[in-house]
Amino acid sequence: MKSGGLGRRPQIVSSVLGNSNTEGVSVFVVSDLHTDYAENLKWVECLSNVEHKNDVLLVAGDVAETCSMFVVTMSLLKERFEHVFYVPGNHDLWCRREGQNYVDSLEKLNKLLDACERIGVETNPTVIDEIGIIPLFSWYHESFDKEKDITGFRIPSFGDGM
Ligand SMILES: [Mn+2]
């Protein structure tokens, strides 16, 4: 097991999918699963076990507040998707429900990244079917965005066709 998640920023690695799916890979994005809530965990459990075997899921933070629920959730997702990517959200790093398990949020972050490695969840830049996926460990505020909104482009809901 590698030590430490911070400072671990390797090169982009090509990834070859071992399938001949002519429809190509679909990339889904989800955030704020908050599976500490039973109904949210149920939603994850109900995601298809067969529909997304070739697909990519980007998990954009706030999976759960405890490491144990994080592992349960990410394992369920990895069983359902060929590739699962993860970037941390603020709730994932909270320690208030972890007892004495972690000195601070940075220690917890390293544990979460180690868990991702064990489960097969990806946290490093990777190319899948010519799509570069670059997980960034940083936070965003809408005030950072000075560009005009993109309009006339419909992104289907995650629940469509699930
Ligand atoms: Mn949230």
Return the SS3 of 60.
strand
Residue 135, in any domain of the structure = yes
Is residue 13 in a domain? no
Q: What is the pLDDT of residues 59-92, one digit of tens each?
A: 999 999 999 999 999 999 999 999 999 999 999 9
**CATH number reported for the structural domain that contains residue 134 in this entry:** 3.60.21
Segment 14-47, tens digit of pLDDT: 444 444 444 688 999 999 999 999 999 999 999 9
Flag whether 18 is in a domain: no
Q: Is 82:53 a contact under the CB 8 Å cutoff?
A: yes
Residue 128 domain flag: yes
pTM recorded for the entire structure: 0.76
**CA quadruple 43, 48, 51, 55: dihedral, nearest 10:** 50
Q: What residues does the ion ligand 1 have nearby, CB within 5 Å? A: 32, 62
Tell me how far the alpha carbon of residue 23 lies from the centroid of ligand 1, in angstroms. 33
Are 62 and 87 a contacting pair, CB within 8 Å? no
**118-150, pLDDT tens digit by residue?**
999 999 999 998 899 999 988 778 898 898 988
- C-alpha 37 to ligand 1 mean position (Å): 12
Helix (H, G, I), strand (E, B) or coil at 127: strand
Range of the domain at 126: 26-139
- For residue 88, the CA-to-ligand 1 centroid distance in Å is 11
Specify if 161 maps to a domain.
Answer: no
Centre of ligand 1 from the C-alpha of residue 30, in Å:
11
The region that residue 144 occupies, defined by phi over 0 for left and psi between -120 and 50 for alpha, beta otherwise, is: alpha
CA of 90 to the centre of ligand 1 (A): 7
Domains: count for the chain: 1
